[in-house]
Structure 1
């Protein structure tokens, strides 16, 4: 077969339905709400509102969160319809494989793979840093060799990051039901911590800190600050917070009654997250002038302590550290299902797509665990953080446009879903433009890294994936 026909060949959705039928459908709406909220309301809710306010938007940081939420919400509509019509493991990779073809599916999946590999490392290291900060007042400190990634401030290995990633991997290896129960409890604790900050912080708000709500535009140290330009710059920085609903879709093959469960889980978790993010942002900039949060790695804890609530600050930070496990569970669960999907289709070694005696893809889980440990504990990766958003936004654009290919096939070879994206055919294109606008706002390095990752992905597909794809047997 020629390159074009290989690249555009489509998988039969009935084949995916059969392949994924061995995965146990045990997850309910409450589990997906916990998974989504646990992944979206992560480390970023305790850090980004202050950072973005100081660097870009001032008190209007709440508008940056709202704008990012609108774009995420538009894409979430597309995700909800796709997941309802095609509840397959691997989310965007599997869907795009069906509606656009294997090559495009590979590109979308490869982009998401960058998100999950780096996000696991990112959250693991973030949890490590917060845990060490929490125990430092107790007089407990790590030697630098065990506290930092290799080559960073005398570090050799971030041992805490290694331990927490391995603990979550062990939990997930026991099955999604066990992981879901732990996730549900931790998410409730984390949401209570956020609400505690909002209630206590609201008592320390000073109205003058909101004036002017949108500061005058200027360029500070190369950064856009104030005006609509600053709000837009904040959107691209914040969007990382909202990408967690993809982790829900990646597990749709394990959903009970996915026609109803998936839309409710995806859209419901996003609504809860938006309300919490905007509330935290408004309270935080009301407590102290936004400039006070410049270069502040823990603005929520700092604001509580400075306003005389040291005990509450400790409680919130302690729960926040525990709550970071929820993001790690969500990212590793979704990432392992994506890796499983590649192996299931032969685009990566087929043993990645094998299930154990309990019908769990633990080979794929082991792979994402090892990669997460290596990246998070041995190598500095802060400069790659925006690549998480870049990879996800590429997949978001594919899914938004994919609705145009999906809709004519619904009720034919693809089931007619109970949820459909409203205002078709206008809204899918608006969602595409929104994701493209956020991608355009990423910094130049993120776009370059995304391009390099894309080129590597094409090489892997041409040298291995296209040759070993199970679609070759079908052809």
Structure 2
């Protein structure tokens, strides 16, 4: 970490470039949950999943807003650790880096499981092989360095955009109104979808307080 003598802010040196940072942030915001969660939830909640996503976006918007405000007020490296340490107490700030690895591992497992589900049709192996393979690959590139992580993420970022465009552009004109009846087949599944769809929005939190 280096201290800026002009503004007194603490920042980390940048070595991944603007495209690398963009790829990392977009990959964090638009992650595997958007590919894994909506399908099963839509199967139970039906077309009402669209409304569920909008309702889930409301509290997510407040999360992004307060993170953005904190990031503007305290533009330093350390993110939530710094914010909580200064605004609440150092002890609670210390708990952030302790709990983040646990959350990260849970997120990695979900990502790896989704990866295995989508790629198993191409490989005649056990899903666990694909899960552990992706986790090992992720660990390896992170050990090598952040620059390599950014380069790999940039490749996935381009692939993500192409995949989204492949589904969105043709799908925008292929609308069958009969599929929207009944709109609320199961209110319990709808309520569950609102809660579950909040998770994919969590990736926008770090984006809101990241300084390029």
**C-alpha RMSD of matched pairs (Å):** 3.0
CA shift, 1:188, in A, is 1.9
Match of 1:97 in 2: 85
- 2:175 is paired with a residue of what secondary structure? coil
Gaps of 5+ in 2: none
Cα 1:239/1:111, change in 2 over 3 Å: farther
Equivalent-residue separation in structure 2 for 1:163 and 1:216 (angstroms): 39
Kept after mapping to 2: 8 A contact 1:32/1:248? no
Match of 1:179 in 2: 149
**What is the TM-score normalised by the length of structure 1?**
0.39
Residue 123 of structure 1 pairs with residue 82 of structure 2 = no
Cα 1:53/1:203, change in 2 over 3 Å: same
Equivalent-residue separation in structure 2 for 1:70 and 1:177 (angstroms): 35
- Pick aligned residue for 1:244 from 203, 206, 209: 203
Equivalent-residue separation in structure 2 for 1:182 and 1:114 (angstroms): 23
Cα 1:114/1:203, change in 2 over 3 Å: same
CA shift, 1:117, in A, is 1.9
Larger radius of gyration: 1
Aligned counterparts, 1:292-311, within 5 A:
none
Match of 2:175 in 1: 205
Cα 1:163/1:212, change in 2 over 3 Å: closer
Aligned counterparts, 1:60-99, within 5 A:
60-84=48-72, 85-89=74-78, 91-99=79-87
Kept after mapping to 1: 8 A contact 2:46/2:185? no
Cα 1:73/1:249, change in 2 over 3 Å: closer
Gaps of 5+ in 1: 1-12, 136-140, 149-157, 219-223, 253-257, 262-475
Cα 1:110/1:205, change in 2 over 3 Å: same
**What is the TM-score normalised by the length of structure 2?**
0.79
Equivalent-residue separation in structure 1 for 2:70 and 2:165 (angstroms): 33
Q: What is the aligned length?
A: 206
Equivalent-residue separation in structure 2 for 1:174 and 1:47 (angstroms): 29
- 1:88 is paired with a residue of what secondary structure? coil
Equivalent-residue separation in structure 2 for 1:70 and 1:38 (angstroms): 21
- Pick aligned residue for 1:45 from 34, 48, 53: 34
CA shift, 1:100, in A, is 0.8
- 1:133 is paired with a residue of what secondary structure? coil
CA shift, 1:27, in A, is 4.9
Cα 1:29/1:78, change in 2 over 3 Å: farther
Equivalent-residue separation in structure 2 for 1:58 and 1:25 (angstroms): 45
Kept after mapping to 2: 8 A contact 1:26/1:177? yes
